[in-house]
Every structure is written in structure tokens, then in C-alpha cells.
């Protein structure tokens, strides 16, 4: 799941039922890392996506 406030969140359970093994997977961790690098301006490929305030 993604959103401005949530950033990139894993879904590890739904209605108290684990999804998969109930742990954050490697792909989600990589997406979180890439998102944070882009949103912090550390990835030059995406600096034009940012608006300084």
C-alpha cells in the first residue's frame, strides 16, 4: 500500500489473518528503500519529482 502519509507500507495481515508468513518481504523492503531515496532527493533520476518547500 502507498500514500502520502503512509509512504510504502507492507500488508502482513488482514483481519488478524497473516498474509504469507506475516513478515515484510524483500520486494517491499526494496520498494521502501527506493521510495525513501527518491523522496529525500538522494536519487538524481527523480529530483524533478520533488518540490522544495
Residues of the chain with confidence (pLDDT) below 50: none
Q: What is the pLDDT of residue 53?
A: 86
Give the pLDDT confidence score for residue 20 in this predicted structure: 94
The number of folded domains in the chain is: 1
Phi (first) and psi of residue 13, to 5 degrees? -160, 155
pTM of the model: 0.75
Please give the residue range of the domain that contains residue 37: 2-49
Task: Give whole-number Cα distances, 3 to 10, 18, 44, 47, in Å.
Answer: 12, 22, 22, 19
Phi then psi for residue 51, to 5 deg, are -125, 110
* pLDDT computed for residue 36 by the predictor: 92
Amino acid at each position: 500500500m502507498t500514500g502520502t502519509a503512509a509512504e510504502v507500507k507492507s500488508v502482513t495481515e488482514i483481519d488478524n489473518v497473516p498474509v504469507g508468513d506475516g513478515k515484510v518481504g524483500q520486494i517491499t523492503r526494496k520498494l521502501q528503500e527506493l521510495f525513501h531515496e527518491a523522496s529525500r532527493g538522494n536519487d538524481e533520476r527523480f529530483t524533478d519529482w520533488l518540490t522544495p518547500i
